[in-house]
Structure 1
């Protein structure tokens, strides 16, 4: 009997997951409409309807997670194949020497490269730089799974920190006639912003048997192992990091009421209470959107966690249309009032004095700096029979334009 071979591709799985997501949202709208009708008729909703809505809401989130996971898998190119070998002989030599070091601990090849001054050698902590293809793949994966990195500006630096000057007050300007005198203008006031790169590490482990297996793609294995650890730590730091041995998150920036906003602080819009207002709850979202200047608004996104999104998903406009809309196609984000919604689980839940929703142009508002190079130190002794790979990269971040991000604060 000839065995049946499953030829279903990842693309088919993504399409199926997207259809499930669309059906779940239609069921969500229908059930929520029923709940609202019950409230209007009986001043309260049926417990069964509430439970059904909660289950559908959870199913929506599960379906979105499945879409995200499958989309990421579909976008991953193969690593370590013959077609991926660098055309530069020096880079090819580095890649081969690195594989020998990872599999067997043989560092002679990398040490020879160090002698050739190819910047592939050991640093103060020990270890060796990974090949360019592996570093590029790790950063690409992080952009796909780290929500704030995906929407922020990213700059690669070669030193320990990145500095940029910004104008606090630009030069004086004015209108003059064709033959009128041109008075001297005031000089611009400049200040400096500094973004240090902090060290981020992961320590995947493998058995020597796995490393001896020639079929195992070492490049892909390293990228997959450090991806989750790096993404989790990065995401938290970019949102709420305090800047001590880690990037400074945008929620750690100084805040001020939008009415008295000044440079160096993020403006906040209050909801009037510890939750959304009972009447016209979407009005505070409109206030948040228009607190941002038009030049930033055209590329702005909402940032919130899934729990907050679940609450907002039920809001309607005056015409009875839902303000939250599912992705229009695979690979796109859900939208809220026409703006993309970015899910960042490190954002706080709705609570008193919490800034649970951010809105802004993060490309202009938040800067991430990556120090070029990712280093791996092989440790076969600390956790026998496992071989540990102490993998480090240096990354920093902080707000670079305080006018580009606004926060919704749940307070009176």
Structure 2
């Protein structure tokens, strides 16, 4: 089932009549049978988008289509969706079987058929032997499987998952990611998965849509987005450890940091925000076309080593293979040309992406980039509190 969002907008208005644009003119097509991750920081609009698709929020503007059907005005029970929340919402007094069968009873499915479908879906999600247990007798992962089974037993057109793994520990989350991917492949149901965890989204999704302030920042295959971010927000958001960003310039196909000529890079002359991912540094046996650095800190992380160093005014992290390190004090690091990301200073757009955009789109990204810069420049709440405390102390001293 293809899902299509056309000019989707959702505006919330508080008691003081202040508007919050949670979804901002979103245009998305999700192909039938795909598992798509909505990814972004808290407050970016991903859950609001999911709830609009589910029918729990009415859009302020725009349309929602399932295939050729306009479902914008349909109630959730008429849309043919299965929905799983972060809180599994299982009925504690019911057995696993009764929890899974509950939506079928509401749909007045004949009991024999309901029992058969319940057993089949329980086997699919790996809880076929637990049907007579109560939720309190299950682990977190088992409860999650019950919630997924209950959503699937209705044979929905679309499966919607809102941060379903947030309550699980790290090891169980890894296992359940694999299980969700398997279940989706076996059922072939179009699935939307909301998460703020980039590892989750990248590991199970056919495609990811990265959102911020209600807008789509980039869409595509996870590895393509990681390797080719369209803008500096996406580059910073994806990756752990995060990408290194510093101000540099290109002159005669070389990257300069200040007056220092550091790495070859074929690009038009000019000043840019430069991005290099820690894992894209490689140890070089010679200083030619390399950065010669003195390590501030070296941490061995399994087969890799994290090197922290200062270059000019910037603190930089490099993640290299431990075996390639002989001298851990003075190190020559190089980066391949295609691994050096250049972003326009005014708009935050990747240099290679700008020619694909209209002037209106470039302006939209530029306005968003400047807004983000202004927001980042604002003092944080703890900084403001510290300033107020210091001001009070100074006033007390002056009054004595």
TM-score class normalised by the smaller sequence = under 0.3
- TM-score, normalisation: structure 2: 0.25
User: Hey, which of these two has a bigger chunk of helix by percent?
Assistant: 1
User: Hey, which of these two has a bigger chunk of strand by percent?
Assistant: 2
Q: Which has the higher contact order (CA 8 A, sep 6+)?
A: 1
- TM-score, normalisation: structure 1: 0.24
